[in-house]
Amino acid sequence: MRWIFLFILVALTTMGCAANCQNVQQELNTCQVTLTDQDFIIKKQESTIRQKDQKIAEQKESIEKMGVDIAELNRRLNISTSEKGRYDERIKNIASSVREFIKQQMRDNRNFLTDIALEDFIGNELIERKHSGEKNILVVNVSHPVPSGGQINGIGGYFSGSADITIKLLRPVGNDYIVIYDKQVQVEAEETGKQYIDFDSPFIAKKGDIIAYYFPGPVNVPYDSDIGINTYSKMRSDKYAHGNRIAAEDIWHTDQSKRKYSLNYYGIFYTRVDSE
């Protein structure tokens, strides 16, 4: 009986080991499959990483190439900018030379025309007078209207110092006037004397138009009192820009003394104006 019991015990033990071994083998097989899958996933990820690295390398190469292209474009742009700057400076110099040439021609023509009495000078004599020293004055030269159609080429004045002047051409409309032209000029006077200021483009005038002079600062043009006409007024700022209307009562001031300023204008008109 004892041997039978031992045989049975050994048989049971052997059967338990076989079952355990089978379970272990299944677990090993499962682990092997899992490792195989993980190796596949790792290899796939490594392939993806290599592809991304390749793309990054290609992008870096493209960026480096673009950097070279940008540097070349900047070089060409700098050359073009430099050439354009030289070209613009050349054009500016040519334009300045042409303007100066034209101005000189206008001065020469004025002197020529004056010498042979073709260009008309209209207004007061440009001489030293008794009074000066005011500022912010509007002078309207109603006593010397434009004699006929033509063009006004500039103004003249006897200046005791530098001055800013706004020249206005006024056209009568009923009893009032309209500002047809409005031009600012600067007079540089290092010493006292008469000067002529040529316009860069003439005023095209009609018969009956009148010239006005506004001094926003020192007048520096002398005048005599109790002679001439009372068409001047104090004006702190220019109220009559191009296109504005000036009422007759804003020009004539019967309650103030008369004045004659050393101012005139000149040009070429259809009807000859005899010298006064």
pLDDT of residue 142 exceeding 50, the answer is yes
Tokens of 96: 């300045």
Tell me if the pTM is above 0.95.
no
Residue 218 pairs in a beta bridge with 135
CA distance 148 to 271: 6
Other Cβ atoms less than 10 A from the Cβ of 231: the count is 20
CA distance 135 to 213: 12
CA distance 88 to 84: 6
Query: What would the mean pLDDT of 158-182 be, rounded to a whole number?
Result: 95
What is the model's pLDDT at position 163?
94
Q: Is 159 helix (H, G, I), strand (E, B) or coil?
A: strand
pLDDT of residue 227 exceeding 80, the answer is yes
Q: Is 62 helix (H, G, I), strand (E, B) or coil?
A: helix
All residues at 6 or more sequence positions from 233 whose CB lies less than 8 Å from its CB, including other chains: 137, 138, 250, 251, 253
CA distance 154 to 150: 13
pLDDT of residue 116 exceeding 50, the answer is no
CA distance 182 to 206: 16
CA distance 182 to 241: 7
pLDDT of residue 106 exceeding 80, the answer is no
Say if CB 264 and CB 106 are below 8 A apart: no
Q: Which residue has the higher pLDDT, 172 or 46?
A: 172
Tokens of 20: 């355990």
Burial (CB < 10 A; 0-12, 13-18, 19+), residue 168, is buried
Instruction: Give the amino acid at 124.
Output: N
Query: What would the mean pLDDT of 167-183 be, rounded to a whole number?
Result: 95
Query: What would the mean pLDDT of 165-185 be, rounded to a whole number?
Result: 95
Burial annotation 209-223 (CB, 10 A radius, 16+ → b, else e):
bbbbbbbbebbbbbb
Supply the mean pLDDT for the chain: 81
What is the model's pLDDT at position 18?
54
pLDDT of residue 86 exceeding 70, the answer is no
